[in-house]
Amino acid sequence: MILRSRLATHCAQASAHRPKPVLAVPGRTSLSHPPMISIIDDDMSVRTATHNLVRSLGYAVETYASAEEFLHSPHLNETSCVIADVRMPAMSGLDLQSHLIASGRRFPFIFVTAFSVESDRARALRAGAICFLSKPFDGDVLIKCLDTALAQNGSAPGE
């Protein structure tokens, strides 16, 4: 509940003060197609709150209840950044990251977890994760992680 109220407050503030992101495409002038952020979490309330925050920043957002759902999504190749829960049934966020790397797909990852375990954190960061956040997390911290991830991926606002 704290996460939802913090994010709801932050959503209203963020949308009023942040320019809409613009994605630069080689060979074209800047387009108004914002980067796609994929949110993967088996907890619907966290998925919804995170979706609302990220959407309020002007990004395109798709949400998924599982790693498998994301892997079968028609939006997989459009993704600019993944925000994923660490612990989910069937395939964890860490296993998803490993699977994508092994298949040649590299997305910036931001992990969120209710069960912060140092070995999980170390594994995620070793594999290139941008951030590893404990739930409930502060919206401002997530925004900074997202900005870093998109700058690293070449999809930052204004690029």
Contact 30, 24 (CB under 8 A): yes
Render pLDDT for 12-66 as a digit per residue (tens, 0 to 9). Answer: 444 444 444 444 333 323 346 899 999 999 999 999 999 999 999 999 999 999 9
- Average pLDDT, stretch 96-114? 96
Contact 86, 93 (CB under 8 A): yes
- Average pLDDT, stretch 100-114? 95
Instruction: Read off the DSSP letter of residue 20.
Output: P
Q: Taking the complete model, does pTM exceed 0.75, yes or no?
A: yes
